[in-house]
Protein backbone atom coordinates (compact mmCIF):
# COMPACT_ATOMS: atom_id res chain seq x y z
CA UNK A 1 0.00 0.00 0.00
CA UNK A 2 1.56 3.30 -1.09
CA UNK A 3 0.60 5.05 2.14
CA UNK A 4 2.80 2.58 4.04
CA UNK A 5 5.94 2.23 1.91
CA UNK A 6 7.99 -0.81 2.81
CA UNK A 7 5.21 -2.40 4.88
CA UNK A 8 4.51 -5.98 3.82
CA UNK A 9 0.87 -6.72 2.95
CA UNK A 10 -0.94 -9.79 4.28
CA UNK A 11 -4.25 -11.56 3.67
CA UNK A 12 -4.93 -13.65 6.77
CA UNK A 13 -7.68 -16.25 6.89
CA UNK A 14 -9.64 -15.85 10.14
CA UNK A 15 -12.77 -17.91 9.42
CA UNK A 16 -14.11 -20.01 6.54
CA UNK A 17 -14.29 -17.71 3.54
CA UNK A 18 -13.01 -14.66 5.46
CA UNK A 19 -9.64 -13.01 4.93
CA UNK A 20 -8.45 -9.89 6.73
CA UNK A 21 -6.15 -7.50 4.86
CA UNK A 22 -3.41 -5.84 6.85
CA UNK A 23 0.04 -4.33 6.58
CA UNK A 24 2.83 -4.68 9.12
CA UNK A 25 5.85 -2.55 9.94
CA UNK A 26 8.02 -1.09 12.65
CA UNK A 27 9.85 -2.59 15.60
CA UNK A 28 8.97 -3.15 19.22
CA UNK A 29 5.97 -4.49 21.14
CA UNK A 30 2.91 -5.22 18.98
CA UNK A 31 0.23 -2.59 18.42
CA UNK A 32 -2.98 -3.35 16.50
CA UNK A 33 -4.59 -0.38 14.69
CA UNK A 34 -8.27 -0.47 13.69
CA UNK A 35 -10.06 2.12 11.56
CA UNK A 36 -13.65 3.39 11.53
CA UNK A 37 -16.53 3.91 9.08
CA UNK A 38 -16.54 4.46 6.13
CA UNK A 39 -12.77 4.31 5.99
CA UNK A 40 -9.91 1.82 5.72
CA UNK A 41 -6.53 1.17 7.24
CA UNK A 42 -5.35 4.29 5.39
CA UNK A 43 -6.47 6.48 8.30
CA UNK A 44 -3.26 5.84 10.27
CA UNK A 45 -0.78 7.01 7.64
CA UNK A 46 0.00 10.30 9.42
CA UNK A 47 0.85 8.69 12.76
CA UNK A 48 2.34 5.39 11.58
CA UNK A 49 5.88 6.72 10.91
CA UNK A 50 6.27 7.82 14.54
CA UNK A 51 4.51 4.79 16.00
CA UNK A 52 6.72 2.47 13.96
CA UNK A 53 9.78 3.74 15.83
CA UNK A 54 8.35 2.28 19.03
CA UNK A 55 6.01 -0.57 18.04
CA UNK A 56 5.50 -3.42 15.62
CA UNK A 57 2.39 -2.16 13.85
CA UNK A 58 -0.42 -4.35 12.54
CA UNK A 59 -2.71 -2.05 10.54
CA UNK A 60 -5.82 -3.95 9.51
CA UNK A 61 -9.00 -3.52 7.49
CA UNK A 62 -12.05 -4.62 9.45
CA UNK A 63 -14.25 -7.40 8.12
CA UNK A 64 -16.52 -5.74 5.55
CA UNK A 65 -14.19 -2.81 4.90
CA UNK A 66 -11.19 -1.99 2.76
CA UNK A 67 -9.65 -5.05 1.14
CA UNK A 68 -10.90 -7.51 3.74
CA UNK A 69 -13.63 -10.03 2.95
CA UNK A 70 -17.25 -8.89 2.84
CA UNK A 71 -19.41 -11.94 3.59
CA UNK A 72 -23.11 -11.57 2.84
CA UNK A 73 -25.07 -11.11 6.02
CA UNK A 74 -28.77 -10.68 6.92
CA UNK A 75 -29.52 -14.36 7.55
CA UNK A 76 -26.92 -14.54 10.33
CA UNK A 77 -26.65 -11.39 12.48
CA UNK A 78 -23.52 -12.79 14.12
CA UNK A 79 -21.54 -12.40 10.87
CA UNK A 80 -20.92 -8.73 11.71
CA UNK A 81 -21.30 -8.86 15.47
CA UNK A 82 -18.44 -7.02 17.12
CA UNK A 83 -17.69 -10.34 18.85
CA UNK A 84 -17.08 -11.92 15.43
CA UNK A 85 -15.10 -8.96 14.13
CA UNK A 86 -13.01 -8.99 17.30
CA UNK A 87 -12.31 -12.70 16.83
CA UNK A 88 -10.99 -11.83 13.36
CA UNK A 89 -8.45 -9.50 14.89
CA UNK A 90 -7.42 -11.93 17.60
CA UNK A 91 -6.79 -14.52 14.88
CA UNK A 92 -4.77 -12.00 12.86
CA UNK A 93 -2.55 -11.16 15.80
CA UNK A 94 -2.04 -14.79 16.79
CA UNK A 95 -1.15 -15.81 13.25
CA UNK A 96 1.41 -13.01 13.18
CA UNK A 97 2.89 -14.34 16.43
CA UNK A 98 1.40 -11.84 18.89
CA UNK A 99 -0.38 -13.39 21.88
CA UNK A 100 -0.53 -10.12 23.86
CA UNK A 101 -0.73 -6.68 22.32
CA UNK A 102 -2.02 -3.16 22.64
CA UNK A 103 -4.83 -1.71 20.54
CA UNK A 104 -5.38 1.74 19.03
CA UNK A 105 -8.81 2.07 17.46
CA UNK A 106 -11.16 4.72 16.04
CA UNK A 107 -14.93 4.79 15.57
CA UNK A 108 -16.25 1.37 14.43
CA UNK A 109 -12.81 -0.10 15.00
CA UNK A 110 -12.99 1.09 18.59
CA UNK A 111 -16.26 -0.79 19.02
CA UNK A 112 -14.53 -3.92 17.74
CA UNK A 113 -11.63 -3.18 20.09
CA UNK A 114 -14.00 -2.79 23.04
CA UNK A 115 -15.45 -6.25 22.37
CA UNK A 116 -11.96 -7.69 21.79
CA UNK A 117 -10.88 -6.38 25.19
CA UNK A 118 -14.06 -7.62 26.85
CA UNK A 119 -13.96 -11.12 25.36
CA UNK A 120 -10.19 -11.63 25.42
CA UNK A 121 -8.77 -9.56 28.29
CA UNK A 122 -5.76 -11.86 28.51
CA UNK A 123 -4.71 -10.72 25.02
CA UNK A 124 -5.25 -6.94 25.23
CA UNK A 125 -2.67 -5.18 27.38
CA UNK A 126 -3.87 -1.60 26.90
CA UNK A 127 -6.59 0.01 24.84
CA UNK A 128 -6.86 3.43 23.18
CA UNK A 129 -10.33 4.34 21.87
CA UNK A 130 -10.89 7.41 19.70
CA UNK A 131 -14.09 9.48 19.57
CA UNK A 132 -16.65 7.01 20.81
CA UNK A 133 -18.57 6.24 23.95
CA UNK A 134 -19.59 2.60 24.44
CA UNK A 135 -22.26 1.52 21.97
CA UNK A 136 -24.87 0.68 24.61
CA UNK A 137 -24.51 4.08 26.26
CA UNK A 138 -24.88 5.90 22.96
CA UNK A 139 -28.03 4.03 21.96
CA UNK A 140 -29.60 4.32 25.41
CA UNK A 141 -28.93 8.07 25.52
CA UNK A 142 -29.87 8.90 21.93
CA UNK A 143 -31.63 12.24 21.63
CA UNK A 144 -32.69 14.46 18.75
CA UNK A 145 -29.33 16.24 18.48
CA UNK A 146 -27.45 12.95 18.25
CA UNK A 147 -29.92 11.43 15.79
CA UNK A 148 -29.59 14.44 13.48
CA UNK A 149 -25.79 14.45 13.63
CA UNK A 150 -25.37 10.67 13.38
CA UNK A 151 -28.16 10.17 10.86
CA UNK A 152 -26.18 7.38 9.17
CA UNK A 153 -26.59 5.18 12.29
CA UNK A 154 -30.32 5.05 11.67
CA UNK A 155 -30.15 4.99 7.87
CA UNK A 156 -27.76 2.05 7.65
CA UNK A 157 -29.80 -0.20 9.95
CA UNK A 158 -32.88 -0.06 7.72
CA UNK A 159 -33.82 -3.45 6.22
CA UNK A 160 -31.91 -4.58 3.14
CA UNK A 161 -31.69 -3.64 0.39
CA UNK A 162 -32.86 -0.03 0.87
CA UNK A 163 -29.67 1.59 2.22
CA UNK A 164 -27.44 -0.65 0.10
CA UNK A 165 -29.24 0.40 -3.07
CA UNK A 166 -28.94 4.10 -2.26
CA UNK A 167 -25.24 3.89 -1.36
CA UNK A 168 -24.39 1.80 -4.41
CA UNK A 169 -26.10 4.35 -6.67
CA UNK A 170 -23.31 6.83 -5.83
CA UNK A 171 -20.73 5.54 -3.33
CA UNK A 172 -18.57 8.66 -3.62
CA UNK A 173 -21.53 10.89 -2.75
CA UNK A 174 -22.22 8.83 0.37
CA UNK A 175 -18.57 9.20 1.38
CA UNK A 176 -18.73 12.97 0.91
CA UNK A 177 -21.99 13.23 2.86
CA UNK A 178 -20.85 11.17 5.85
CA UNK A 179 -17.30 12.50 6.12
CA UNK A 180 -17.65 16.00 4.69
CA UNK A 181 -20.44 17.07 7.05
CA UNK A 182 -18.22 16.73 10.11
CA UNK A 183 -16.69 19.76 11.77
CA UNK A 184 -13.50 19.86 9.65
CA UNK A 185 -15.11 19.10 6.29
CA UNK A 186 -12.85 17.23 3.90
CA UNK A 187 -9.69 19.17 4.75
CA UNK A 188 -8.08 16.47 6.97
CA UNK A 189 -7.89 13.87 4.21
CA UNK A 190 -4.92 13.60 1.88
CA UNK A 191 -5.60 12.79 -1.79
CA UNK A 192 -3.94 9.39 -1.37
CA UNK A 193 -6.08 8.41 1.63
CA UNK A 194 -9.25 9.75 0.03
CA UNK A 195 -8.55 7.72 -3.11
CA UNK A 196 -8.37 4.58 -0.98
CA UNK A 197 -11.67 5.40 0.74
CA UNK A 198 -13.36 5.99 -2.62
CA UNK A 199 -11.90 2.82 -4.14
CA UNK A 200 -12.95 0.61 -1.26
CA UNK A 201 -16.49 1.89 -0.72
CA UNK A 202 -17.22 1.06 -4.37
CA UNK A 203 -16.01 -2.55 -4.09
CA UNK A 204 -18.64 -5.30 -4.55
CA UNK A 205 -20.37 -6.04 -1.26
CA UNK A 206 -18.96 -3.01 0.57
CA UNK A 207 -22.27 -1.22 1.03
CA UNK A 208 -24.00 -4.34 2.28
CA UNK A 209 -21.17 -5.15 4.68
CA UNK A 210 -21.24 -1.66 6.18
CA UNK A 211 -24.99 -1.89 6.69
CA UNK A 212 -24.63 -5.29 8.34
CA UNK A 213 -22.00 -3.84 10.68
CA UNK A 214 -24.48 -1.20 11.84
CA UNK A 215 -27.43 -3.60 11.95
CA UNK A 216 -25.41 -5.82 14.26
CA UNK A 217 -24.54 -2.81 16.44
CA UNK A 218 -28.23 -2.03 16.89
CA UNK A 219 -29.11 -5.65 17.61
CA UNK A 220 -26.83 -8.49 18.64
CA UNK A 221 -24.07 -6.18 19.90
CA UNK A 222 -26.46 -4.55 22.36
CA UNK A 223 -27.41 -8.00 23.63
CA UNK A 224 -23.74 -8.79 24.27
CA UNK A 225 -23.15 -5.43 25.95
CA UNK A 226 -26.20 -5.83 28.20
CA UNK A 227 -25.06 -9.32 29.16
CA UNK A 228 -21.70 -7.90 30.23
CA UNK A 229 -23.41 -5.18 32.28
CA UNK A 230 -25.78 -7.62 33.97
CA UNK A 231 -22.89 -9.95 34.82
CA UNK A 232 -20.76 -7.10 36.15
CA UNK A 233 -17.99 -7.76 33.60
CA UNK A 234 -15.63 -4.82 33.21
CA UNK A 235 -12.48 -4.14 31.23
CA UNK A 236 -9.48 -4.83 33.49
CA UNK A 237 -6.75 -3.33 31.31
CA UNK A 238 -5.81 0.39 31.25
CA UNK A 239 -7.97 2.40 28.83
CA UNK A 240 -7.22 5.76 27.25
CA UNK A 241 -10.32 7.44 25.82
CA UNK A 242 -9.75 10.46 23.57
CA UNK A 243 -12.32 12.41 21.61
CA UNK A 244 -12.62 15.54 19.49
CA UNK A 245 -13.55 18.76 21.24
CA UNK A 246 -15.51 19.81 18.15
CA UNK A 247 -17.21 16.43 17.71
CA UNK A 248 -20.66 15.00 18.32
CA UNK A 249 -19.47 12.61 21.04
CA UNK A 250 -18.28 15.60 23.09
CA UNK A 251 -21.52 17.46 22.48
CA UNK A 252 -23.97 14.66 23.22
CA UNK A 253 -22.26 12.43 25.80
CA UNK A 254 -19.79 12.35 28.67
CA UNK A 255 -17.35 9.87 27.15
CA UNK A 256 -14.94 9.68 30.06
CA UNK A 257 -17.73 8.90 32.52
CA UNK A 258 -19.22 6.32 30.15
CA UNK A 259 -15.91 4.48 29.79
CA UNK A 260 -15.45 4.57 33.55
CA UNK A 261 -18.75 2.69 33.83
CA UNK A 262 -17.36 -0.26 31.85
CA UNK A 263 -13.63 -0.23 32.71
CA UNK A 264 -11.59 -0.18 35.91
CA UNK A 265 -8.66 2.03 34.86
CA UNK A 266 -9.62 4.88 32.54
CA UNK A 267 -8.02 8.18 31.66
CA UNK A 268 -8.58 10.54 28.78
CA UNK A 269 -9.90 13.83 27.49
CA UNK A 270 -10.69 15.94 24.46
CA UNK A 271 -8.26 16.88 21.70
CA UNK A 272 -8.54 20.09 19.62
CA UNK A 273 -10.22 18.57 16.58
CA UNK A 274 -13.34 16.85 15.34
CA UNK A 275 -14.11 13.20 14.72
CA UNK A 276 -11.19 12.10 12.53
CA UNK A 277 -8.52 12.51 15.19
CA UNK A 278 -5.65 10.62 13.53
CA UNK A 279 -6.01 12.72 10.38
CA UNK A 280 -7.05 16.06 11.92
CA UNK A 281 -4.66 16.19 14.89
CA UNK A 282 -1.95 13.55 14.47
CA UNK A 283 0.68 15.41 16.52
CA UNK A 284 -1.67 16.00 19.45
CA UNK A 285 -2.80 12.38 19.32
CA UNK A 286 0.77 11.11 19.44
CA UNK A 287 1.64 13.47 22.28
CA UNK A 288 -1.24 12.16 24.38
CA UNK A 289 -1.07 8.52 23.34
CA UNK A 290 2.63 7.61 23.35
CA UNK A 291 3.21 8.10 27.10
CA UNK A 292 0.19 5.90 27.81
CA UNK A 293 1.28 3.11 25.48
CA UNK A 294 4.85 3.22 26.74
CA UNK A 295 4.16 3.49 30.47
CA UNK A 296 4.53 0.45 32.72
CA UNK A 297 1.35 -0.82 34.34
CA UNK A 298 0.81 -3.06 37.31
CA UNK A 299 0.47 -6.72 36.36
CA UNK A 300 2.55 -6.52 33.19
Q: Nearest 5°: CA angle at 198, between 193 and 199?
A: 95
CB 93 within 8 A of CB 58: yes
Catalytic pick among 67, 88, 107, 225: 107
d(Cα 203, Cα 95) in Å, to the nearest integer? 26
Backbone angles phi, psi at 297, to 5 degrees: -130, 150
DSSP the chain: -TTSTTPPEEEEEEETTEEEEEEEEESSSEEEEE--TT--GGGGTTTHHHHTTTSEEEEEPPTTSTTS-----SS-GGGG-HHHHHHHHHHHHHHTT-SSEEEEEETHHHHHHHHHHHH-TTTEEEEEEES---HHHHHHT--HHHHHHTHHHHHHTSPTTHHHHHHHH-HHHHHHHHHHTSTTTTTT--HHHHHHHHHHHTSTTHHHHHHHHHHHHTTHHHHHHHHHHHHT--EEEEEEEEEETTSHHHHH--HHHHHHTTEEEEEEEEESS-S-HHHH-HHHHHHHHHHHHHS--TT-
Backbone angles phi, psi at 177, to 5 degrees: -70, -45
Query: Would you call 107 a catalytic residue per the annotation?
Result: yes
In angstroms, the CA 67 to CA 263 distance is 32
Q: Indicate if 176 belongs to the active site.
A: no
Q: Which active-site residues does the annotation give?
A: 107, 275
Amino acid sequence: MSLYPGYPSHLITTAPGVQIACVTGGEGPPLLLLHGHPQTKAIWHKVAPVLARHFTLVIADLRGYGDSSKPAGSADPALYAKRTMAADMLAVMRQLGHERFQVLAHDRGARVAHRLAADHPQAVQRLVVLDIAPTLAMYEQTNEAFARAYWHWFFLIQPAPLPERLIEADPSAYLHDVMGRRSAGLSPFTPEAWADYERCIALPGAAHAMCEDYRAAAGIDLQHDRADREAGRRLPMPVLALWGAQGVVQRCFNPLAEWQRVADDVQGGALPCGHYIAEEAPEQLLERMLPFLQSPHQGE
